[in-house]
Structure 1
């Protein structure tokens, strides 16, 4: 075999059938389709809490402050301080109940402070003089979320009564340790789990979802990378130095095409593509295959318009950009090998003649 770096363009195309991978020629429709596709993120996976503010409710272990007011003197709660009394630090017991004088046990688990106020008033009807109640949550042990990973201050964080969005909770924890483009957010809610890039959460409001009681949030530092190989000046693994990197920018980062070697018609982006994206692009593939589909996007840089396509074709994490050698380069290598072989034969012949 002749020494070379990677397959030729024609070989990639010929081997696509037997190796069961797709070759997709990049044009305006492909670029628009890829850029317009919205993957399933936090907003779609947890859509029940996307469009409204959740109401915080009281749970076991929460500490409440209850104040009862009466309309006139001489009532149950009248005294030197007036016609009211405050009951601080009332803990919701394991049964989800609290007890106050003259009220008996009141079931408060799952109730809002306003609902608990109504229950207190109802329990005092006929006993106190036109009672009114005020209930506040002093310490919230139940309505909390857990935040761990690459944040400044991991721990348990209580949710305010008005609710809180994902970025609000991250801010309470001092923010992420690393850049948003290098940080992923994993949110676990019951049996559901969703993952999203922090930068996407910041830029797309529907991804900045309301968190719910008991949510577990984990931030992880995972810089996105891509590889550039083949007939470029600096083949290597590169880290995304911006939120998005185009195929054209990736080639430029690798020093550009090697003019004497590169096949400008054979610029390829290797990717394991999501079936949902291929369906959205109306590209047929072997649907028997489970999981992502090995796909090669081909960009013909011989055409001027393809530079616009390459500029708009955004790379994803773990993509590989490959620039194949020109066919003439391979022919030149073969001729070089033949010249070396011919020269060696000539040298041997000359040595034999000297012995003669």
Structure 2
């Protein structure tokens, strides 16, 4: 004889309560009730709400134009130097130079009268380094300022200072070592080093090439330029595709090449729950879903495919969204796609994923119902098994008594 329906319902409820409070069941660690009970201090909110405001945007053709391009920064805007000729490179502290002085005829200040057999009426002074004061020393001309000046300017000043003592002096200044015009190339290149800028001018890609090129994929590489306390970063792909961004370098610049691993997180009812690499492409939402193994047919709700992202306030304002309640420039946004609509499959191929996006696919409501029914079925089976075991035990005791 079976257990009456009303009594069986009471047993099921009792078993559920007992199971929920049972501490003897296997666990990998403390459960949430134990953690909550044992806390010395609790910092919480009503209903344990996180309290972060966000904007919910349904994916549609109207918003796609605002999110179909990868945002880029600009070196040309920040530093200039993308067009025109190479910048002039002045002399600087630490440069090693050599000065040659010519006179129109012998018998002057530097050329003796009996120098007719010389190959030319000139002398070459020993090499010298532009000192900390920025000067070089020239006999009978004194200390001549050199740092920060073009070599033609220094030559002219030396000539002017010697004009009253030498015979029509002409000066040639040669740079033997230009330490002040070095540029450092560091980071993910094959041969990090300091590079001396040539008078013809060197652009960023020239310097990276001299440093042996990249050690990382082009599309996952950023290039940062540091100049006189100012910094700007641009994608390596931008330098390749936009020549105006490949600007001329200046003395003292630092070029830092950095690999940036671009990833998104896939959660929920997708084939894979993991952090997934973009690899060598700029992913769309459709491609991201494919990388995550697609939607699991037995679990996923195709109407609730969402992407979590922080979006620049200016973009939302261009969409006429009131951002007054948000304090930061980056506003939390959830983008929602309804894949029940056939047209959405076109939209997800235009919507660009960004680095550190979170892709979440919700469970269908029916899945939650099935989970509940599975628990009920499991408890019912357990109750039935306990009743049968009790009957078997009673019969065994009777057999022993007989």
Question: How high is the TM-score relative to the length of structure 1?
Answer: 0.83
Answer yes or no: is the 8 Å Cα contact 1:31–1:309 preserved in 2: yes
Instruction: Give yes or no for the alignment of 1:225 onto 2:263.
Output: yes
What does 1:345-356 correspond to in 2, within 5 Å?
Answer: 345-348=383-386
Aligned to 2:89: 56
Larger radius of gyration: 2
Cα gap change, 1:113/1:279 in structure 2, threshold over 3 Å: closer, same or farther? farther
Aligned to 2:254: 216
Cα gap change, 1:19/1:351 in structure 2, threshold over 3 Å: closer, same or farther? farther
**How far 1:48 moved relative to its partner?**
4.1
Aligned to 2:41: none
Cα gap change, 1:76/1:30 in structure 2, threshold over 3 Å: closer, same or farther? farther
Cα gap change, 1:38/1:231 in structure 2, threshold over 3 Å: closer, same or farther? closer
**1 CA distance for matches of 2:50 and 2:58?**
16
Answer yes or no: is the 8 Å Cα contact 1:16–1:22 preserved in 2: no
**How far 1:232 moved relative to its partner?**
1.7
In structure 1, stretches of 5+ residues that fail to align are 2-14
**2 CA distance for matches of 1:82 and 1:347?**
116
Instruction: Give yes or no for the alignment of 1:317 onto 2:371.
Output: no
**How far 1:243 moved relative to its partner?**
3.4
Aligned to 2:141: 103
> 1:195-246 deviations in whole A, cap 9, x for unaligned?
3332333333343233322223322333211122222222222112213111
Aligned to 2:367: 329
Secondary structure of the corresponding residue to residue 172 of structure 2: strand
What does 1:128-139 correspond to in 2, within 5 Å?
Answer: 128-139=166-177
In structure 2, stretches of 5+ residues that fail to align are 1-15, 17-47, 396-402
User: Given the alignment, which residue of 46, 55, 65 partners 1:22?
Assistant: 55
Secondary structure of the corresponding residue to residue 335 of structure 1: helix
**How far 1:19 moved relative to its partner?**
3.7
Secondary structure of the corresponding residue to residue 333 of structure 1: helix
Answer yes or no: is the 8 Å Cα contact 1:37–1:277 preserved in 2: no
Instruction: Give yes or no for the alignment of 1:140 onto 2:178.
Output: yes
Instruction: Give yes or no for the alignment of 1:302 onto 2:335.
Output: no
**2 CA distance for matches of 1:341 and 1:298?**
37
Instruction: Give yes or no for the alignment of 1:121 onto 2:159.
Output: yes
**Bigger relative contact order, structure 1 or 2 (CA pairs below 8 A, ≥6 apart):** 1
Aligned to 1:12: none
Aligned to 1:66: 99
**How far 1:58 moved relative to its partner?**
0.7
Q: How many equivalent pairs are there?
A: 342
Aligned to 1:266: 304
Cα gap change, 1:157/1:335 in structure 2, threshold over 3 Å: closer, same or farther? same
**2 CA distance for matches of 1:113 and 1:282?**
57
Question: How high is the TM-score relative to the length of structure 2?
Answer: 0.74
Answer yes or no: is the 8 Å Cα contact 1:56–1:162 preserved in 2: no
Secondary structure of the corresponding residue to residue 312 of structure 1: coil
CA RMSD of aligned residues (A): 3.0
Cα gap change, 1:206/1:313 in structure 2, threshold over 3 Å: closer, same or farther? farther
**How far 1:186 moved relative to its partner?**
2.9
**How far 1:120 moved relative to its partner?**
2.8
Secondary structure of the corresponding residue to residue 260 of structure 1: coil
**2 CA distance for matches of 1:148 and 1:106?**
35
Aligned to 2:217: 179
**2 CA distance for matches of 1:301 and 1:135?**
73
**2 CA distance for matches of 1:314 and 1:58?**
48
**2 CA distance for matches of 1:28 and 1:113?**
61
Secondary structure of the corresponding residue to residue 188 of structure 1: strand
Cα gap change, 1:107/1:278 in structure 2, threshold over 3 Å: closer, same or farther? same
Answer yes or no: is the 8 Å Cα contact 1:75–1:83 preserved in 2: no
Instruction: Give yes or no for the alignment of 1:340 onto 2:378.
Output: yes
